Amino acid sequence: MSIKIVIIDDEAPIRRMLSIALKSEGYNVAEAGDGESGLAAVARHQPELVVLDLGLPDMDGHEVLNDLRTWSKVPVIVLSVRSNDREKVRALDTGAQDYVTKPFSVEEFLARVRANVRDHIKPDAPVILDDGKLCIDLGKRWVTMSGNKVDLTPKEYAVLSRLAQSPNCVITQTQLLQEIWGPAHKDNSHYLRIIVSHLRQKLGDDPAEPYYIRTEAGVGYRLMYQDARTG
């Protein structure tokens, strides 16, 4: 499973250095240079870890962390020149998992990344759903129907994979919109209706009586799944 990390830092050389170091360890990396685009990147990529600078050009990193914690539990490593205890305590109390002070060694940073990945990512989480017809491989980001690859857009895959993470459970519209489009779009339910309609079409679901993606009126959606091995 390729672990995704989003770096939110306004210093391009820092982002470049971290990106090179992380990619050399096999991580999948996305970058953002300010708070707003950083939050959007987290919503879009659904990473397993976020690296967050506090000194951003459009908003303070503490604001980013506060916003993020209203809709995501992704582990966050704060990276900042602010070395006083008050800043560290504030970040940790808000929900950061770690705090690294600039300047720092790349070796120490990578060790902290490995520690957070080890502590917060469950290796036994199911990564493949296969009912004998529909197969969703969350590790490879691969979807097939009756052995044939289903081509999905990034948003279509994001919605389907989020539903697949909790099969047979209802995921609310608000949760899907916040996690995939970002908190600013939590009321744009028409985005979600369009994506679900496209997914049903690609999965061969009857729009009048869908089998796979069920609508819970006024609440959200659920992905119906029965393991082929259990019948």
Q: How far apart are CA 41 and CA 91, in angstroms?
A: 20
Beta carbons within 10 angstroms of residue 132's beta carbon: 11
Q: Of 97, 120, 143, at which residue does a domain stop?
A: 120
Beta carbons within 10 angstroms of residue 194's beta carbon: 12
| Domain identity same for 132 and 201 | yes
Q: Where are the alpha helices (DSSP H) in the chain?
A: 12-24, 35-45, 61-68, 85-94, 106-120, 154-165, 173-180, 189-203
Whether pLDDT at 229 is above 60: no
Give the CATH number for residue 15. 3.40.50.2300
| Domain identity same for 114 and 154 | no
Domain count of the fold of the chain: 2
Whether pLDDT at 124 is above 60: no
Residue 86 lies in a domain: yes
Place of tokens 């209706």: 193
Domain of residue 136, residue span? 128-223
Q: Of 120, 143, 163, at which residue does a domain stop?
A: 120
| Domain identity same for 157 and 192 | yes
Q: Of 94, 120, 146, at which residue does a domain stop?
A: 120
Residue 230 lies in a domain: no
| Domain identity same for 55 and 101 | yes
| Domain identity same for 114 and 25 | yes
pLDDT digits 0-9 by tens, 158-191: 999 989 988 888 888 888 888 888 877 778 889 9
- Residue 3 pLDDT grade (very low, low, confident, very high; cuts 50, 70, 90): confident
